[in-house]
A and B are shown apart, each in its own frame.
Chain A
Amino acid sequence: MNLEDRLRGAADAIIEATRHESPQDELKKLYVESDQRAQDPLELLAFDHAMKETQLGPAAYALGVHYVVQDKLDEADYWLRVAAQSDVGDAALRLAQLCELRAVLNFNKSEGPDSALEQLSHSQNLEARYWYTRAAAAGYENGKPELLSVAEQPNEPIDCCDHMEVGSSLLRAGRLVDNAQEEALTIVRRARRDAESFVEDAQEEADQAQVMAREARRDAQAFVDEARAEVESLANQREILALQLAQLRSMLEGLATVVARNETGRSGFGRLSGRLRRGRSRAASRRSVMSADVEFCARIIAGVQDALEMPDDEIPSRDLLARAIASVSPTGRQHDIRHESIRLAESTVGSQRRMSAAWGSVAVAGR
């Protein structure tokens, strides 16, 4: 239960708990008492006075405000004082403001510190303070004019004459302006808040877009790198194939030359090439049966193999190579072949490209 409900409940509960008669009975008693007291003229006068007193406060307040607007400050002071003493609305507050205004006016008009006007101003200041205190006691915020909000101004337009109409119109216009300003400020504040929120959203989306762009760029770069590596790998393979092709071509040319010129020594050729094919490595040289030619040729092959830095099995056209050397060897030009092959073995270390030149030399030696 909230405080408002508690208050209503408390008032009703206590009133009901102390009620001993029905409303009709209470009304009857009221009539009886009224009849009795109405016999006394003084009582009648007191009732009449009480009713008039309830009217006096609001009427005095209206009159006081009326005189303030007409700039008749003495009269305004009097009637506002009557209203304030009758505890009407914010009469105490208006009276305090009026006293303060009159104190300032009198102070400005005074000729010296001891002048009558300045003393009057001082007493009016004291009076203003007193009425501000009364206003504060009635619940007005601190009882200070500068702290009063628009909400604490009177609302009743008093337009009984031209002056009042102008005055109340000005008051109303002032309030309208204040309200409009407040509304405008509210709208501006709301718009600013919306704009800030919009900018924040846009910034967030831009950040997300940047992140996505970075990721896309990274992916594209990775794809390009991969493609480039693949292209390079293909280029290497192509180069190797081109080299191998050149080797083959060169070897075939040399072989063709050898075959064309060497009519004799067929048996020697066949034997040598067979040994070379069977021996396949330098291990074969360890066999004592191997002839000097075979050993020489095997050395050439080993030299070429070392120069190419390739495993034994991968030497291209080893068989053909063996045949080529064997066919050259029985011609009795061993010296030339040895000399040339040693030179080539030394100069082609680490260079695959010289293979074709080597085979060219073999071909020359064969001639």
Chain B
Amino acid sequence: MSADESRRDKSFELFYLKENPRLLRIAYGLTGDVELAKEVAQEVMLTLLVTWGRYDRPEDLLYRLAKQRTQRASRKAPRNSVALDEHIRSAEEALERSNANAMTAASESHQELMRLVSSLPGRQRDVVVLTVITDLPDADASRVLGISVSSVKTHRQRGLESLRKALLTSTGPSGD
């Protein structure tokens, strides 16, 4: 074991292994873009690693940091607008994927669903991401968002209703 490895905190490692999947879901729910979500998740974990031990309840900070990073990313480059190099790279990747038959109809429908989530009104999206996609209990979501448990329920209900309507509109009555 190297000296660098020995100074690394084991508690962060455990935290990472436990919380990273949830963080990825949060970031994906907020951005609607899996690649961007991975970048956001990595930045959040880096921030926590650098400042590790200074703040209580780091799991509550995941959501706020992810949201902050998402907002910065969208301010830097609005969603769905990418640089030319990025276009070329994604076109090449898409071609490879198409050759390998990687992109299936199922994954397209999943992506469409997640895009709909990211297009919900802010508070509804936050609640749906936290309580539905990452399965966080209502009480924890209410603490993270700073709103009451009843508000969490209300926003979730409205968010899911909006999603149902959007799904019906995009795929017809048999969509859900």
Residues of A within 8 A of B (CB): 3-4, 6-15, 17-18, 23, 26-27, 30-31, 33-35, 37-38, 44, 47-48, 50-51, 53-55, 57-58, 61, 87-90, 136-141, 149-156
Contacts and interface: CB of A to CB of B under 8 A. Distances in A.
A61 B64 CA distance: 15
Given A14-B111, A17-B107, A88-B146, A37 B46 contact: yes
Nearest to A2: B176
B121 A50 contact: no
B46 A30 contact: yes
A26 B113 CA distance: 27
B111 A54 contact: no
Nearest to B35: A18
B159 to A, nearest CB: 7
B4 A11 contact: no
A154 B148 CA distance: 5
Contacts of A31: 4, 8, 49
Given A10-B113, A33-B46, 12 more contacts: A10-B109, A10-B114, A11-B133, A18-B35, A27-B16, A48-B51, A54-B61, A57-B64, A139-B155, A139-B158, A155-B142, A155-B148
Nearest to A8: B133
Q: Which of A6, A12, A35, A54 counts the most chain B CB atoms within 10 A?
A: A54
A18 B50 contact: no
Interface string B32-55: 001101100010011101110011
Given A3-B160, A139-B159, A11 B25 contact: yes
Contacts of A90: 146-147, 151
Nearest to B71: A87
A115 B93 CA distance: 65
B151 A14 contact: no
B146 A47 contact: no
A234 B22 CA distance: 103
B140 interface: no
Interface string B6-23: 001000010011001100
Interface of B: 4, 8, 13, 16-17, 20-21, 24-25, 28-29, 34-35, 37-38, 42, 45-47, 49-51, 54-55, 61, 64-65, 67-69, 71, 102, 106-107, 109-111, 113-114, 117, 120-125, 127-128, 132-133, 135, 142, 145-151, 153-155, 158-160, 163-164, 167, 176
B133 A137 contact: no
A67 to B, nearest CB: 17
B5 to A, nearest CB: 8
Contacts of A58: 146
A270 to B, nearest CB: 119
Nearest to A5: B132
Nearest to A91: B146
A79 B41 CA distance: 29
A155 B114 contact: no
A6 B128 CA distance: 12
B70 to A, nearest CB: 11
Q: Which of B25, B54, B151, B163 counts the most chain A CB atoms within 10 A?
A: B151
B113 A6 contact: yes
A7 B115 CA distance: 11
